[in-house]
Amino acid sequence: MLSLIRKISEIIKPPTWKPGINQGFTLLEAIITVSIMGILAAVVTPTYLQTQAQAKLVMSQAGASQLQQGFINLYFEGMFIDSLNVWPDEPADHKMTHQWAGSTILYDGRTVAQLYSGSKIIYNPYENPFLYYRLPKTAQEQAGFRIDDPDTGVSTSFRP
């Protein structure tokens, strides 16, 4: 029994330091590891930032397209009642804010916000409002509208 206790105590006992046995990292190993991590970060960071910028551009294009589709649907609904001048008035600063969308009444009594799901107009990926411009009727074209994203440069317009 006593020999069993000695064997257990030797197993449990923490190892002692002996000369010639490595106990950790050398300074050279640490420098190499940090250098490799720095090189990987330098290679990956630009790719990540470029991918993030491309994603925001795609989100901006999708948002502008969604806003455009809501106005186009409004136009086609107006065709059924012979009202082709259905475009909402421009905001003074051209910004399609939640306040403007909730207070601008359309020809059919709805607000601009009610054209979209959740009765809420969307903003661009940077959480800024899109810009809205009415396009006047010309000799060659009907009246229409243009939607711009000032942050990404995305622009879309519609003239029937």
- pLDDT of 13 > 80? The answer is no
The first and second tokens of residue 108, run together, are: 């059919």
Q: Does 24 score more than 80 pLDDT?
A: no
What confidence tens digit (pLDDT) does each residue in 135-150 have?
A: 998 999 888 999 999 9
Q: How confident is the model at residue 1 (pLDDT cuts 50, 70, 90)?
A: low
> What would you report as the CA-atom Rg of the chain, rounded to the nearest whole angstrom?
32
**CA-wise closest residue to 114 among 130, 126, 98:** 98
Query: 51-69 pLDDT, tens per residue?
Result: 999 999 999 999 999 999 9
pLDDT > 90? residue 16: no
The CB density around residue 160, as the number of other CB atoms within 10 Å, is: 11
User: What is the domain partition of the chain in residue ranges?
Assistant: 62-158
